């Protein structure tokens, strides 16, 4: 997996596939790690040296000294969360120094974005079933709306007091009437928000830079660059289960705009997929198990959100969805995580086709409504009972686990290049 100069790693399902831990493994061979979309809605876990780290905004390569870590222009950055993360990782932010670059073009999540996110979610919920998205409340959607409406505040604006004041006034002129008249909430005071934003600017200033030039210079000098996707293909604003998606481009293509890399420079695309499926928030999920098997997956896989603490919905692996992900992203290989979680189940199932309105379909439907009407067509697999967490080669795995992996490769039309058999850095089978 490590031979390409530029690798892009994306989530191949509904997020939380284990991207952080795979980035951590691959970052050993990279000099630059770049996040390119999303914001603090992400929660990427890395377990190294027996310690658990959760990254919301910082790239998961941050644990290695001397890696250049970049927060690309495609992100929406909550400055408070960024500060928390930087100081949590290292008590003296200065010591991170030139290791971290925050693109000046990244958009800033303002407190009114978070407030509007939560209020809009509550409003959708009041409309009854089928409207709530179950957002993380991190202000992601409202911040991207402002970006595309061309009124957003960018990281570069935080360090220019006059520009900041003008943009903040423009925004409050619009946000405050919405808060007061539509939601009956208190308006934001300009002075307080301006002071806070100037303070964020002072903190962020040493990191703000030109990510495009940094990435280009790294590429030209032959450095290996790893792009770290957030969320997952099925949460992509275009290719996911719209409207039950996030507000950014989580697929490979998002990396070209949000990470400032030309498509021709991308050498390899890796999709991270769990050996089963999970989803947080609302939206169709054909293989969801609302029974004791689903509970067991949640318990054995510790499936609780690292950003919101919500229990994740759990279900069997869906190779129709995975095959779709392989195509949309042009996956060269799959990093299959959490295979160890399937040890000890009485039965294992994989969804191999969909039954929609009595018709069998092998392709993932473009519409969330159609996906909501799916009855999964399952194939059963021989379970295994062995603890596989100590396996380091494919040949160490029980035959039934090897067959399970081989079936995934065949049905999704992509090689499995890495297998996760536990949360730790070392709990990894490297194949490609
Ligand atoms: P991400 O958002 O894609 O980075 O994934 P999360 O960090 O939100 O969720 C993945 C969870 O699974 C984390 O708690 C990881 O520590 C854990 N994990 C990752 N890979 C494995 C694995 O192979 N086996 C087990 N048991 N846990 C894993
Ligand atoms: P990582 O990077 C799983 C989900 C939310 C909600 C929908 C929209 O850790 O895989 P948003 O706050 O983005 O507007 O919420 O997307 N969601 C995630 N689910 N993992 C994530 O990130 C997610 N980020 C957002 O639960 O359904
Ligand atoms: Mg996560």
Read off the CATH number of the domain in which 350 is found: 3.90.170.10
Ligand 2 proximity of 133 Cβ (cutoff 6 Å):
yes
Q: Is residue 276 part of a domain?
A: yes
Helix (H, G, I), strand (E, B) or coil at 91: coil
Residues of 100-128 as b/e, b for ≥16 C-beta within 10 angstroms? bbbbbbbbbbbbbbbbbbbbbbeebeeee
Confidence band, pLDDT 50/70/90 cuts, at residue 94: low
Distance 299 CA to ligand 2 centre (A): 20
Question: Do residues 48 and 139 share a domain?
Answer: no
What pLDDT, on the 0 to 100 scale, is given for residue 98?
A: 73
**Helix, strand, coil in percent for the chain, rounding step 5:** 40, 20, 40
Same domain (yes/no): 364, 330: yes
pLDDT for residue 167: 98
Instruction: State the ligand closest to the CA atom of 229.
Output: 2
In angstroms, the Cα distances linking 75 to 34, 144, 193, 208 are 11, 9, 21, 13
CA 49 to CA 288: how far, in whole Å?
34
Q: Is 281 in the pocket of ligand 2 (CB under 6 A)?
A: yes
**Residue that has been written with the tokens 């379909």 in this structure:** 361
Residues 139 and 269 in one domain: no
Q: Apex CA 55: angle with CA 53 and CA 60, to 5°?
A: 90
Per-residue pLDDT band at 235 (split at 50, 70, 90) = very high
Within a domain: residue 1? no
> Which residue, judged by its Cα, is nearest atom 10 of ligand 1?
18
- Last residue of some domain: 173, 204, 235? 204
pLDDT for residue 2? 52
Q: Which of 18, 235, 249 to mutate to test the pocket of ligand 2 (most atoms within 8 A of CB)?
A: 235
Mean pLDDT value across residues 62-70: 91
In a domain? residue 189: yes
Give the distance (Å) from ligand 2 centre to CA of residue 271: 17
User: Do 154 and 275 belong to one domain?
Assistant: no
Q: How far is the CA of 164 from the centre of ligand 3 (A)?
A: 32
Which member of 3, 29, 44, 387 is catalytic?
Answer: 44
Contact 286, 39 (CB under 8 A): no
Domain boundary among 204, 238, 259: 204
Report the pLDDT value the prediction gives residue 66, as an integer from 0 to 100.
87
Same domain for 270 and 216, yes or no, is yes
Which-ligand-closest: CA of 136?
2
Pair (85, 112) in one structural domain: no
Q: Tens of pLDDT along 325-337? A: 999 999 999 999 9
Lowest mean pLDDT among 28-42, 89-103, 403-417: 89-103
Residue with token string 């799959």: 334
Residue 79, ligand 2, Cβ within 6 A: no
Residue 287 clears pLDDT 60, i.e. is over it:
yes
The pLDDT > 70 percentage for the chain reads 98
Q: Which ligand is nearest the CA of 140, by number? A: 2
Does 410 share its domain with 290?
yes
pLDDT in tens, 128-168: 888 999 999 999 999 999 999 999 999 999 999 999 999 99
Tell how far the Cα of 231 is from the centroid of ligand 2, in angstroms: 6
Q: Are residues 275 and 408 in the same domain?
A: yes
Per residue in 335-371, pLDDT (tens digit) is 999 999 999 999 999 999 999 999 999 999 989 999 9
Task: Extract the tokens encoding 272.
Answer: 């991270």
Same-domain pairing of 111 and 195? yes
pLDDT value, residue 95: 64
Q: Is 208 left (phi over 0), alpha (psi -120 to 50) or beta?
A: beta
Based on the structure, what is the number of domains in the chain? 2
Q: Does residue 14 belong to any structural domain of this protein?
A: yes
Phi and psi for 182 in degrees, rounded to 5?
Answer: -85, -40
Distance CA 317, CA 303 (A): 15
The reply to whether 90 belongs to the active site is no
For ligand 2, is residue 134 a contact (CB within 6 Å)?
yes
Query: Do residues 312 and 304 touch, judged by C-beta distance below 8 A?
Result: yes
Alpha-carbon distance of 364 to 328, in angstroms, equals 11
Task: Among 204, 226, 241, give the residue marking a domain's end.
Answer: 204
Residue 44 known to be catalytic: yes
Burial, 23: exposed, middle or buried (Cβ in 10 Å; 0-12, 13-18, 19+)? buried
pLDDT at 92: 63
DSSP, residue by residue, 225-268: EEEE--S-GGG-TTTSSTTSS-SS--SHHHHHHHTT--GGG--E
Residue nearest to atom 14 of ligand 1 (CA): 45
Question: Are residues 76 and 154 located together in one domain of the fold?
Answer: no
Q: Is 244 inside a domain boundary?
A: yes
> Which residues have beta carbons under 5 A from ligand 3 (an ion)?
16, 43
**CATH value at residue 200:** 1.10.300.10
- Asked, for residue 181, whether it belongs to a domain, the answer is yes
- Cβ of 44 closer than 6 Å to ligand 1, yes or no, is yes
Question: Predicted confidence band at 97 (pLDDT cuts at 50, 70, 90)?
Answer: low
Residue 47: CB within 6 Å of ligand 1? yes
Q: Which of 93-107, 270-284, 355-369, 399-413 has the lowest mean pLDDT?
A: 93-107
Q: Could you list the residue range(s) of the whole structural domain that residue 14 is in?
A: 6-97+210-430
Please tell me whether residues 160 and 279 are part of one structural domain. Answer: no
Q: Does residue 102 form part of some domain?
A: no
Q: Confirm or reject: Cβ of 59 under 6 Å from ligand 1.
A: no
- Statement to judge: residues 378 and 406 lie in one domain: yes
On whether residue 300 sits in a domain, the answer given is yes
């Amino acid at each position: 997996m490590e031979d390409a100069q530029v690798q892009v790693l994306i989530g191949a399902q509904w997020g939380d596939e284990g991207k952080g831990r795979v980035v951590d493994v691959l970052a050993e061979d990279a000099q630059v790690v770049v996040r390119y979309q999303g914001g603090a809605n992400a929660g990427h876990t890395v377990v190294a040296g027996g310690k658990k780290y959760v990254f919301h905004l910082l790239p998961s390569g941050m644990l290695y000294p001397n890696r250049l870590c970049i927060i690309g222009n495609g992100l929406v950055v909550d400055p408070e969360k960024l500060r928390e993360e930087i100081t949590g990782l290292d008590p003296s932010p200065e010591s991170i120094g030139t290791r971290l670059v925050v693109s000046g073009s990244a958009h800033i999540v303002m407190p009114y974005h978070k407030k509007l996110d939560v209020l809009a979610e509550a409003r959708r919920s009041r409309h009854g079933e089928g409207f709530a998205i179950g957002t993380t409340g991190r202000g992601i959607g409202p911040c991207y709306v402002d970006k595309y409406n061309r009124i957003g505040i960018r990281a570069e604006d935080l360090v220019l007091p006059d520009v900041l004041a003008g943009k903040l006034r423009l925004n409050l002129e619009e946000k405050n009437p919405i808060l007061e008249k539509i939601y009956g909430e208190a308006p934001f005071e300009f002075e307080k928000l301006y002071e806070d934003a100037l303070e964020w600017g002072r903190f962020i200033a040493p990191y703000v830079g030109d990510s495009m030039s940094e990435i280009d210079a790294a590429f030209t000098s032959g450095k290996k660059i790893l792009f770290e996707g957030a969320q997952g293909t099925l949460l992509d604003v275009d290719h996911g289960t719209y409207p039950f998606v996030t507000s950014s481009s989580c697929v490979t293509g998002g990396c070209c705009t949000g990470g400032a890399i030309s498509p021709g420079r991308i050498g390899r695309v890796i999709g991270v997929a769990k050996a089963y499926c999970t989803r947080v928030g609302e939206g169709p999920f054909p293989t969801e198990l609302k029974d004791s098997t689903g509970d067991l997956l949640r318990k054995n896989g510790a499936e609780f959100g690292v950003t919101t603490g919500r229990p994740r919905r759990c279900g069997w692996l869906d190779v129709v969805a995975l095959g779709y992900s392989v195509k949309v992203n042009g996956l060269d290989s799959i990093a299959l995580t959490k295979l160890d979680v399937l040890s000890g189940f009485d039965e294992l199932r994989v969804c191999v086709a969909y039954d929609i309105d009595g018709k069998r379909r092998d392709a993932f439907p473009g519409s969330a409504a159609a996906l909501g009407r799916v009855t999964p067509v399952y194939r059963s697999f021989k379970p295994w009972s062995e603890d596989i967490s100590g396996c380091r080669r494919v040949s160490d795995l029980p035959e039934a686990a090897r067959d399970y992996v081989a079936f995934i490769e065949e049905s999704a039309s992509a090689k499995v290049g890495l297998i996760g058999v536990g949360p730790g850095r070392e709990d990894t089978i490297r194949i490609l």
